[in-house]
Amino acid sequence: MTTISLRFDDEMKKQLDEMCDEMGMNLTYSDSNMEQLKKANQQIKNGQVIVKTIEELEAMKFE
């Protein structure tokens, strides 16, 4: 397992906390959060991802 540490200035940390809160997430690494991260990591390793630009995603909402 790898530990990643990130340093943010106070304003960026506040913005990230707010963004996560809007998505129903938080920056706390609970057991369930860790399981979701592991699952996402495995999907990336298996090539089970779809990459879209923000423009492509915005265009999809009108389809």
Does 6 reside within a domain? no
**20 inside domain:** no
Q: Are 42 and 36 in contact (CB under 8 A)?
A: no
Q: What tokens were used for 56?
A: 């492509």
Domain-located, residue 55: yes
What is the predicted pLDDT for the residue at 46? 94
* Residue 23 placed within a domain: no
Tell me, yes or no, whether 9 lies in a domain: no
Averaged pLDDT of the chain: 83
Note the pTM of the prediction, 2 decimals: 0.42
The answer to whether the beta carbons of residues 54 and 48 sit under 8 Å apart is: no
The residue segments making up the domain with residue 60 are 37-63
Q: Is 30 part of a structural domain of the chain?
A: no
Distance (Å, rounded) from C-alpha 14 to C-alpha 51? 27
Looking at the structure of the chain, the number of domains it has is 1
For 44-62, the pLDDT digits (tens) are 999 998 889 999 988 988 7
In a domain, 14, yes or no: no
Is residue 62 in some structural domain?
yes
DSSP three-state, residue 17 = helix
Predicted local distance difference test score (pLDDT) of residue 45 = 92
